[in-house]
Structure 1
Amino acid sequence: MGAVDCLDQNVGAYRIAIRSKKWWWPLFAFLPDAAVNNAWLLYRMSSAHGHLPLGQLRFKRSVAMIYICLLLVQQSVPKPITPTPTKRQKVRLSGVGHHAESMPKQRHHSHCGKKANFICKACNVPFHRKCSA
């Protein structure tokens, strides 16, 4: 029981402190704490660091900063936006059959992203009267 007591003591020192009324939350919050604790114990036992090992709090902070930096790097790469083709270009540029009809359900305008109440009958493109695009 010595290892379980040490795990409980180490996890209890810097526990994730979020309160919830859900019964499963303490079980879920215990898993990252136990994983980081085991990683910290392996880090302390390894001789690769060559200097004094980090304390538990500093180790947790460094792990958190690594994951935050990875998340920021992933978010900084913008995804290419490819426009969805609506109809043939010939139909869109012709001046025939372009009439506004009211839609029963709102869709989002492709240019500004606001909710559109009308649709072009020929192009099948939603639009609203406040935006001219």
Structure 2
Amino acid sequence: MEEALTGSTSVVKWKDNKVVAVASNKVYNKQMGGVDIFDQRVSAYRIRIRSRIWWWPIFAWSTNAQVVYSWMLYCKLGNIIPFLDFIWHFLIATMKKYGAPRTSLGPKRLSAGIAKDSVWYNGEQHWTKKGDQRHSKCRECSRRTKYICNMCSVQLHPECMEPYHKIPQ
């Protein structure tokens, strides 16, 4: 390996499969240009959502670029905060202004379909009826079914009704 230093420039040369030479400007490395800092900031916390839509990478990059430019302007105004903190405050403010409140607490199927013991083993007549959902898993055999128990609202096949409602010994 050979190294040559002249003023603010250094050149390093070594032999791998072929001869490789790298030149570097120390002044440049010490004070990176604005474009390099911008590219570094954009790639540091970029949006990582995959999509088959052709314009998504352009939209994601431009959104990141706007956040970086906003942070740089904010810092020039004398408000020096870390970039990640700026992103967090920016997102919170954006969600408060433009975010929509949640309309539901989640999918219906997550909360429905678990019978309480008082209903499950109450000795009343349980029978099947066609459910709202097209196909869901039977609680007893885990195969797909379109039937539910009329009292428990649990997805069950007609042949799985008795074993499911049988009191465990």
- With normalisation by structure 2, the TM-score equals 0.38
- With normalisation by structure 1, the TM-score equals 0.47
Structure with bigger RCO (C-alpha 8 Å, 6+ apart): 1
Query: Which structure: greater strand fraction?
Result: 2
* Structure whose CA Rg is larger: 2
